[in-house]
């Protein structure tokens, strides 16, 4: 019988910006990484990112402190201040790394071109290919991974964590041919992205099924902040699934939201008007849709200079559906876009299960709070993907009481519960429930209806079982959070309440526990 292959140093689950950053840094540190991806190396939500990457690169007009202030304001004061400080201070160097790996960002003369997006007080969002930032980053990282000879196993689907003697020992997976396999590792990095596919109306690719978060929930690993699904305000309202994103950068370059009467309503909603934080804009659009009995509002991008050159990807999409953004207003409505919560991670990305780490959208690192600041997500993957490797290389094995990990009860993770699937429920059925009853505006009645409907469903496939698990957790946390904050708007509790200055954490069981924010974490 063939002997068992020795455990690899670093097993990375996911091939988006966070996962590839971790794998590349591991290889450059002399560690042996293996990347498992359920699609291809070049396929991830990262590749779909349009707007850009936010970082305080221009010292004359910007600073990490200003970036920090914008991040915690957008995050509705539920960010972890130390995690945000790490993000904004290390971010610029990680972007320089990316440029050294070959990523080509747009320039204005000799300088990197920057734009503004919602919630940013200065232009600090760099971009590539106009509106193809994610695709360029994915290209640069994938090429670097290939050049470094990193082993990438494509079309492998992870089924569960292996937990042995109280630590993560790798994963059980189905290989490209569907055969059950085990991949053993000293360190396992969950960088599997978000769960936008919980919703019928989403900007996320079909691969965004919350696999890593569901796996953590099944293993009793701490997961938090999952009630904070961020809805992007301006997805093109067309029958396509997923929805076409109309980047916030359009509003940074002069586009304006208008209601069905042509009124530019954002001036009545927030001092930053069309560049208010994303949750404010999504709520304002949804409320106006309800008030005017419409499915969408309008994005007037007729004043955006050189639309086709500056936003070539969006130009192609809207032209394909017969719209000309230089003349036509574009129909827009909010769509599920980004999960601000996930696997609880300390400042180095360590989960509460030794040997298990998490970064990017799958993680709850505390940098996004209740509402992620626009274009902070790619930066998050770059910064925490590399910090994990630095910590592993320094010999760290388990979590510290830093960042979001502060205050999380000392639960021992486990036992691992196997995913349940093979039932009759199709994805569209629970997507409909979550969209109708746990969307931009929620209340107790709608959430209880959603909880009951989801409890009765049994998913057909592994990925749908993962989505269902994340959807149930999202609804349970949303029911428990009896206030409105960030992307979580309860019509029955319209105000923010200091009684909920904390995170709902899942660890043991299906009910979340409110962990108060330690005083030193408050921004
Ligand atoms: C956008 O381009 O509007 C999306 C950027 C982001 O999600 O941060």
pLDDT of 5? 72
DSSP state of 164: E
Q: What is the mean pLDDT of residues 269-290?
A: 97
Residue 83 is inside which H or E element, if any?
helix 81-100
- Give ranges for CATH 3.90.700.10 in the chain: 233-335
C-alpha distances out from residue 459 to 117, 345, 443, Å: 38, 28, 25
Distance 380 CA to ligand 1 centre (A): 13
Q: Residue 400 and residue 302: Cα distance in Å, rounded?
A: 51
Contact between 162 and 184 (Cβ < 8 Å): yes
φ/ψ (deg, to 5) at 383: -70, -50
- Give ranges for CATH 3.50.50.60 in the chain: 8-194+340-405
Distance 232 CA to ligand 1 centre (A): 8
Mind telling me the catalytic residues? 278
Residue 11 is inside which H or E element, if any?
strand 8-13
The fold of the 8-194+340-405 domain, in CATH, is FAD/NAD(P)-binding domain (3.50.50)
Q: What is the mean pLDDT of residues 315-327?
A: 96
Distance 338 CA to ligand 1 centre (A): 9
Pocket, ligand 1, Cβ cutoff 6 A: 49-51, 247-249, 338, 374-375, 377
Residue 224 is inside which H or E element, if any?
strand 223-224
Q: Residue 410 and residue 11: Cα distance in Å, rounded?
A: 25
* Residue of 17, 44, 45, 49 to mutate, ligand 1, most atoms within 8 A of C-beta: 49
* 392: Cα within 13 Å, side-chain hemisphere: 35
Number of other CB atoms surrounding residue 287 within 10 Å: 15
Residue minimizing CA distance to atom 8 of ligand 1: 375
* Residue of 48, 51, 125, 126 to mutate, ligand 1, most atoms within 8 A of C-beta: 51
Strands (E), 269-347: 297-300, 330-339, 342-344
Report yes or no on whether pTM surpasses 0.95.
yes
pLDDT of 355? 97
Q: What is the mean pLDDT of residues 394-405?
A: 96
Residue range 233-335 forms a domain whose CATH class is alpha beta
pLDDT of 407? 87
Contacts of 251 (CB under 8 A, 6+ apart): 117, 118, 234, 257, 274, 275, 299
Residue 232 is inside which H or E element, if any?
strand 229-236
| pLDDT, tens digit, 9 for 90 and up, residues 413-447 | 878 999 999 999 999 999 999 999 999 999 999 99
> For residue 2, is pLDDT > 50?
no
Contacts of 374 (CB under 8 A, 6+ apart): 51, 54, 74, 117, 118, 119, 120, 125, 248, 277, 278
Structure tokens at 150: 């990193």
Which atom of ligand 1 sits closest to the CA of residue 51? 2
> For residue 265, is pLDDT > 60?
yes
User: Would you say the C-alpha torsion 23, 381, 353, 85 has a positive or negative sign?
Assistant: positive
Number of other CB atoms surrounding residue 496 within 10 Å: 17
**Confidence tier at 1 by pLDDT (50, 70, 90):** very low
| pLDDT, tens digit, 9 for 90 and up, residues 458-469 | 999 999 999 999
Q: What is the mean pLDDT of residues 219-229?
A: 97
Strands (E), 86-196: 107-108, 111-112, 114-115, 125-126, 151-154, 157-164, 167-174, 180-190
Cα–Cα–Cα angle for 401, 405, 407, nearest 5°? 80
Which atom of ligand 1 sits closest to the CA of residue 377? 8
Reduced to 3 states (helix: H, G, I; strand: E, B; else coil), residue 369 is: coil
pLDDT of 286? 98
Contact between 32 and 10 (Cβ < 8 Å): yes
Distance 131 CA to ligand 1 centre (A): 10
Question: Residue written as tokens 């899942």?
Answer: 506
Among 42-51, 86-95, 504-513, the least confident range: 42-51
């Amino acid at each position: 019988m063939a002997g068992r292959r020795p455990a690899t140093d670093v097993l990375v689950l996911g091939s988006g910006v966070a996962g590839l950053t971790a794998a590349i840094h591991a290889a450059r540190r002399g560690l042996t990484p293996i990347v498992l991806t359920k699609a291809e190396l070049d396929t991830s939500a990262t590749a779909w990112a349009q707007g850009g990457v936010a970082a305080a690169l221009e010292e004359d007009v910007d600073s990490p402190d200003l970036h920090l202030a914008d991040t915690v304001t957008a995050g509705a004061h539920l960010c972890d201040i130390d995690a945000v400080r790490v993000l904004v201070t290390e971010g610029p160097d990680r972007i320089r790394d990316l440029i050294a790996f070959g990523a080509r960002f747009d320039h204005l003369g000799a300088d990197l071109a920057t734009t503004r997006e919602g919630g940013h007080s200065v232009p600090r969002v760099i971009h590539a290919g106009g509106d193809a930032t994610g695709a360029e980053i994915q290209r640069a990282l994938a090429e670097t991974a290939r050049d470094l000879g990193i082993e990438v196993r494509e079309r492998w689907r992870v089924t569960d964590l292996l937990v042995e003697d109280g630590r993560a020992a790798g994963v059980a997976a189905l290989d490209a041919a569907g055969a059950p396999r085990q991949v053993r590792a000293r360190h396992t990095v969950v960088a599997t992205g978000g769960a936008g596919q919980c919703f019928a109306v989403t900007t996320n690719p079909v691969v965004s099924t919350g696999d890593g978060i569901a796996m953590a929930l099944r293993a009793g690993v701490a997961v938090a902040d999952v009630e904070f699904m961020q809805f992007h305000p301006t997805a093109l309202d067309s029958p396509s699934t997923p929805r076409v994103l109309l980047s916030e950068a359009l509003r940074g370059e002069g586009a304006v939201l208008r209601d069905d009467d042509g009124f530019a309503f954002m001036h009545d909603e927030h001092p930053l008007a069309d560049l208010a934080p994303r949750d404010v804009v999504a709520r304002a659009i949804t409320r106006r849709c309800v008030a005017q009995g419409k499915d969408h509002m309008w994005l007037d991008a007729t004043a955006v200079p050189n639309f086709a050159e500056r936003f070539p990807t969006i130009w192609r999409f809207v032209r394909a559906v017969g719209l000309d953004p230089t003349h036509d207003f574009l129909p827009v409505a909010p769509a599920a876009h980004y999960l601000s919560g996930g696997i609880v991670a300390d400042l180095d990305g360590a989960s509460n299960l030794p040997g298990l780490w998490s970064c990017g959208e799958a993680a709850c690192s505390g940098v996004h709070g209740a509402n992620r600041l626009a274009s902070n997500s790619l930066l998050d993957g770059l910064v925490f993907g590399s910090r994990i490797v630095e910590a592993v290389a320094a010999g760290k094995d388990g979590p510290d009481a830093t960042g979001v990990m502060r205050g999380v009860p000392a639960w021992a993770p486990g036992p691992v519960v196997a995913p349940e699937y093979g039932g009759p429920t199709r994805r569209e059925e629970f997507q409909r429930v979550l969209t109708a009853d746990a969307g931009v505006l929620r209340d107790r009645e709608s959430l209880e209806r959603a909880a009951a409907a989801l409890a009765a469903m049994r998913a057909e496939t592994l990925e749908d079982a993962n989505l269902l698990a994340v959807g149930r957790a999202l609804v349970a946390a949303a029911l428990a959070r009896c206030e409105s904050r960030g992307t979580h708007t309860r019509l029955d509790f319209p105000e923010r309440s200091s009684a909920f200055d904390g995170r709902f954490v899942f660890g043991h069981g299906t009910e979340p526990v409110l962990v108060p924010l330690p005083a030193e974490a408050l921004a």
